[in-house]
Structure 1
Amino acid sequence: MSEYTITYIKNENPKEKPQSDQLSFGKYFTDHMFIQDYNPERGWHNQRIVPYQPLTLDPAAIVFHYGQTVFEGLKAYRTKRNNIQLFRPDKNMERLNRSNDRLCIPQIDEEFAIDAIKHLVHIDQDWVPNAPGTSLYIRPFVISTEPYLGVSPSATYQFIVILSPVGAYYEAGINPVKIAVENQFVRAVKGGTGEAKTAGNYASSLKAQEIVSKEGYAQVLWLDGVEKKYIEEVGSMNVFFKINGEIVTPELNGSILEGVTRNSVIQMLNHWGLPVKESKITMEELYQHYQNGELEEAFGSGTAAVISPIGELAWEGKKMVINDSKTGPIAKRLYETLTGIQYGTEDDLFNWTTKVSYK
């Protein structure tokens, strides 16, 4: 166990909780938040759970000017037995520290961070919704707080965790989406910050997303930033293709974010004995497989949606309709199995879940 202790200040003016069947994503926030400070003299210190409140930062804080910040996203789920559990929080904290390293942010104590999250979720456990498909989204993040306009790493930081009850990602069940392949803008390049979960990656994706949304597409399929031909990610998710019986996902290359759900999908497919490989794949190759009738399924994987089937790809004026725009059997099985583990209706064969509290 960690040597840190957490002080707790109760929110004496709790908010009215939204109805579980009326939740969207990221709109509501719970009564409390976790904060931990950092300075060079004391390291990480002053761990506290306090009422949810605005932050007070100097206008010159480095986070505002140079974007030195990282974040994570995971969820707490209420099971049918009314237990609350997390899904693979250790992988999120490992990735947070990899992002910290890339952004020159001090490493956090991963074990303590999980303890802090469990403590916070336990305090706000009544906010964990119980409607089908709903969950409590957990957003840990680190911001640089030193007031300084020189381009250098901050000397001070805050590690913060906030919670948000969220609705089912698919209101009418798991449905395929239309995706446009992006040829003008790029998301990241090897040596950049693509494999870190940092704010700037998402800000730079907004323009392409804005354009394709006006054309009726749900997301952007990103190509590599150098040759603009190798497939990388879809929106903010990793992507998989079933080609002639084999599942293929782009290999990690220094610009692709290593998703926790991606890792889980690969492990699950291997457990089922289904052929899966990580390799480079170009849009031209994918289109040829489509022309040959070999592109059988496509789907994205990520925390928010778990599995998001792709029904159509638009690329250079050509439309590729995949599996008649229907959810394929692999995507469906993965979605049902992973969500079953998360909500406690499927056996957790991999010990992926962590219990938070019991009511």
Structure 2
Amino acid sequence: MKRAVIIGTGSALPARVLTNAELEGMVETSDEWITARTGIKTRRIAGAGEKTSQLAAAAARRALALAGLTPEELDLILVGTITADMTMPSCACLVQKELGAVRAFAFDLNAACSGFLYALDVADKYIRSDPDLKIMVIGAETLSSRVDWHDRNTCVLFGDGAGACVVTGAESNGNHQRGYLAAKLYADGSLWELLHLEGAPGHNPDLPGAALTAHPSIRMYGREVFRHAVRAMADAVGKVLADQGITPAQLSLVIPHQANIRIIRSLAEHLALPLEKVYVNVDKYGNTSAATIPIALDEANRQGRLAAGDLLLLCAFGGGFTWGASLIRW
């Protein structure tokens, strides 16, 4: 039986590094305050030539190189993002153009910070239908363009970047069911106001909501989001592991959404896992939404932290609310 397997990973980050010390001169905050509450020390901020589609394409090129494929061999490009360059065309279509992936169809998927997990699950469904497909799955964001830089509660959290992976079908490896094993994905739109990003105002006065502004930015009620995030991710992880008959101790590595070090530590405690088994880079990049997991996945892969047969757990929580967990045998 063929399963969806990841055969290449890549990531791309803007050149500019914004430190906590620099933020001290921009808003009323401090390095100590940011570090203690979030674990973030620096984040990357996009500049000229680093639009979401350009970062996504750069990450995709690295993933293709590791997979030993050319852009022309791709059949589908999926991009999880809430910060596409424009409303239309999609970020995925612009990536297709940038890569020269002339055979691929392409579309975006909006699930906020869970976007990469959702997109990976969609790719798995396509592979089940046609195991020979070559699919590029990307999480990419330039959240710096959607942040209110006068709001210290949000501007210290977010950064820019992109991560990608190439997915195709492959036979199971011996006794191991190699590849994408299972996922549990969820949403609760009733809580959208706790973490949201408004769209640009429309021209029909009867349709836009009264809250819409000309320059929308991320709005978040941090305490409530934290409370829901910890509980929801722990529940999703528990269910996907139970369904597969796997215990947390059997996991080789957990790559959680990199939003806040306290959320990550709470999840590790819930799973009774040492932090050494949990990949953390939130200190370097902050919260890059849909890009956090694929960036971390690429880093872990290139650092040699993933070996054949390893059980890898991915989990995320984001605006919507959306959340979920995926289990992969490397």
| TM beyond 0.5 | no
TM-score (norm 2): 0.26
**Greater CA radius of gyration, 1 or 2?**
1
Q: Counting strand residues as a fraction of each chain, which structure ranks higher?
A: 1
Bigger relative CO (Cα 8 Å, ≥ 6 apart) = 2
